[in-house]
Protein backbone atom coordinates (compact mmCIF):
# COMPACT_ATOMS: atom_id res chain seq x y z
CA UNK A 1 0.00 0.00 0.00
CA UNK A 2 1.22 3.48 -0.78
CA UNK A 3 -0.08 6.99 -0.98
CA UNK A 4 1.57 10.30 -1.66
CA UNK A 5 0.69 13.95 -2.01
CA UNK A 6 2.50 16.55 -4.10
CA UNK A 7 1.97 20.22 -3.24
CA UNK A 8 3.17 23.07 -5.44
CA UNK A 9 3.04 26.74 -4.44
CA UNK A 10 2.20 29.52 -6.85
CA UNK A 11 5.14 30.60 -8.98
CA UNK A 12 7.65 32.58 -6.95
CA UNK A 13 6.01 31.67 -3.63
CA UNK A 14 6.66 29.12 -0.88
CA UNK A 15 4.26 26.55 0.53
CA UNK A 16 2.55 28.19 3.52
CA UNK A 17 4.11 27.13 6.86
CA UNK A 18 0.83 25.69 8.22
CA UNK A 19 0.44 23.46 5.15
CA UNK A 20 4.08 22.37 5.37
CA UNK A 21 3.66 21.59 9.08
CA UNK A 22 0.50 19.52 8.55
CA UNK A 23 2.10 17.48 5.79
CA UNK A 24 5.27 16.86 7.76
CA UNK A 25 3.34 15.44 10.74
CA UNK A 26 4.21 11.90 11.85
CA UNK A 27 1.49 9.98 10.02
CA UNK A 28 -1.96 11.09 8.96
CA UNK A 29 -5.03 8.94 9.43
CA UNK A 30 -4.42 6.42 6.64
CA UNK A 31 -6.42 3.32 5.71
CA UNK A 32 -3.28 1.21 6.23
CA UNK A 33 -0.38 1.09 8.69
CA UNK A 34 2.60 2.64 6.94
CA UNK A 35 6.02 1.23 7.80
CA UNK A 36 8.04 3.90 5.97
CA UNK A 37 7.54 7.45 4.81
CA UNK A 38 9.01 10.07 2.50
CA UNK A 39 9.31 13.83 2.94
CA UNK A 40 10.99 15.69 0.06
CA UNK A 41 11.01 19.36 -0.86
CA UNK A 42 12.96 21.52 -3.25
CA UNK A 43 15.51 24.00 -1.85
CA UNK A 44 13.11 26.96 -2.11
CA UNK A 45 10.24 25.26 -0.24
CA UNK A 46 7.86 25.74 -3.17
CA UNK A 47 7.36 22.01 -3.87
CA UNK A 48 6.72 19.22 -1.36
CA UNK A 49 6.18 15.50 -1.89
CA UNK A 50 5.07 13.50 1.13
CA UNK A 51 4.43 9.75 0.98
CA UNK A 52 3.64 6.78 3.18
CA UNK A 53 3.88 3.10 2.33
CA UNK A 54 3.82 -0.45 3.53
CA UNK A 55 5.99 -2.16 0.91
CA UNK A 56 4.48 -5.12 -0.87
CA UNK A 57 6.81 -7.86 -2.11
CA UNK A 58 4.32 -8.83 -4.85
CA UNK A 59 5.63 -8.46 -8.40
CA UNK A 60 9.01 -7.21 -7.09
CA UNK A 61 7.76 -3.62 -6.80
CA UNK A 62 9.77 -2.95 -3.62
CA UNK A 63 9.55 0.77 -2.79
CA UNK A 64 7.05 3.10 -4.46
CA UNK A 65 9.49 6.03 -4.40
CA UNK A 66 13.05 6.79 -5.35
CA UNK A 67 15.42 9.61 -4.54
CA UNK A 68 18.12 9.84 -7.22
CA UNK A 69 20.43 12.84 -7.84
CA UNK A 70 18.56 14.93 -5.26
CA UNK A 71 15.22 14.53 -7.02
CA UNK A 72 12.24 12.33 -6.22
CA UNK A 73 10.01 9.92 -8.12
CA UNK A 74 6.90 8.31 -6.63
CA UNK A 75 3.95 6.33 -7.96
CA UNK A 76 0.77 4.58 -6.88
CA UNK A 77 -1.06 1.83 -8.72
CA UNK A 78 0.47 -0.60 -11.18
CA UNK A 79 2.53 0.55 -14.14
CA UNK A 80 4.89 -1.32 -16.40
CA UNK A 81 6.94 -0.42 -19.44
CA UNK A 82 5.98 -1.98 -22.74
CA UNK A 83 6.97 -4.45 -24.05
CA UNK A 84 9.61 -5.89 -21.71
CA UNK A 85 8.34 -4.97 -18.21
CA UNK A 86 10.58 -4.20 -15.25
CA UNK A 87 13.99 -5.69 -14.51
CA UNK A 88 14.29 -7.93 -11.46
CA UNK A 89 16.28 -6.84 -8.41
CA UNK A 90 15.75 -3.07 -8.83
CA UNK A 91 12.73 -1.25 -7.43
CA UNK A 92 10.16 -0.09 -9.97
CA UNK A 93 10.51 3.46 -8.63
CA UNK A 94 14.30 3.46 -9.23
CA UNK A 95 13.75 2.17 -12.75
CA UNK A 96 11.03 4.75 -13.41
CA UNK A 97 13.26 7.54 -12.10
CA UNK A 98 16.12 6.46 -14.38
CA UNK A 99 13.77 6.21 -17.39
CA UNK A 100 12.41 9.72 -16.75
CA UNK A 101 15.89 11.22 -16.49
CA UNK A 102 17.08 9.76 -19.79
CA UNK A 103 15.59 10.27 -23.21
CA UNK A 104 12.70 12.58 -22.29
CA UNK A 105 9.68 12.04 -20.09
CA UNK A 106 7.13 12.23 -22.91
CA UNK A 107 8.63 9.26 -24.72
CA UNK A 108 8.67 7.15 -21.58
CA UNK A 109 5.11 8.03 -20.54
CA UNK A 110 3.86 6.66 -23.86
CA UNK A 111 5.76 3.42 -23.16
CA UNK A 112 4.02 2.84 -19.80
CA UNK A 113 0.89 0.73 -19.44
CA UNK A 114 -1.35 0.32 -16.42
CA UNK A 115 -3.46 2.28 -13.99
CA UNK A 116 -1.29 4.66 -11.99
CA UNK A 117 -0.39 8.12 -10.80
CA UNK A 118 3.25 9.18 -10.84
CA UNK A 119 5.36 12.21 -10.07
CA UNK A 120 9.01 12.84 -10.84
CA UNK A 121 10.88 16.00 -9.86
CA UNK A 122 14.46 17.14 -10.33
CA UNK A 123 16.47 18.48 -7.38
CA UNK A 124 15.16 22.00 -8.11
CA UNK A 125 11.47 21.01 -8.13
CA UNK A 126 10.95 20.94 -11.90
CA UNK A 127 9.26 17.85 -13.29
CA UNK A 128 5.90 16.31 -14.09
CA UNK A 129 2.93 14.54 -12.57
CA UNK A 130 0.79 12.07 -14.51
CA UNK A 131 -2.27 9.92 -13.96
CA UNK A 132 -2.98 7.28 -16.55
CA UNK A 133 -5.19 4.31 -17.31
CA UNK A 134 -4.32 2.29 -20.35
CA UNK A 135 -3.78 -1.31 -21.35
Contact 79, 96 (CB under 8 A): yes
Residue 6's DSSP bridge partners are 49
Overall average pLDDT of the 19-32 stretch: 80
**Given a cut of 60, is residue 22 above it in pLDDT?**
yes
Size (the chain), residues: 135
Least Cα distance to 65 among 25, 102, 37, 35 occurs for 37
Q: Give me the domain span that covers residue 11.
A: 2-134
Q: Which three-class secondary structure state does DSSP give residue 2?
A: strand
pTM of the predicted protein model: 0.85
Q: What domain count does the chain have?
A: 1
Over residues 9-20, the pLDDT tens digits come to 998 999 999 998
Amino acid sequence: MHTYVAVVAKEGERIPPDVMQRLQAEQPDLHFDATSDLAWSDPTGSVLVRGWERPNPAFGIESHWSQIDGGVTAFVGHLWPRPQGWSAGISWADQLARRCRTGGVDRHIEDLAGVYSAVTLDHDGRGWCSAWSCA
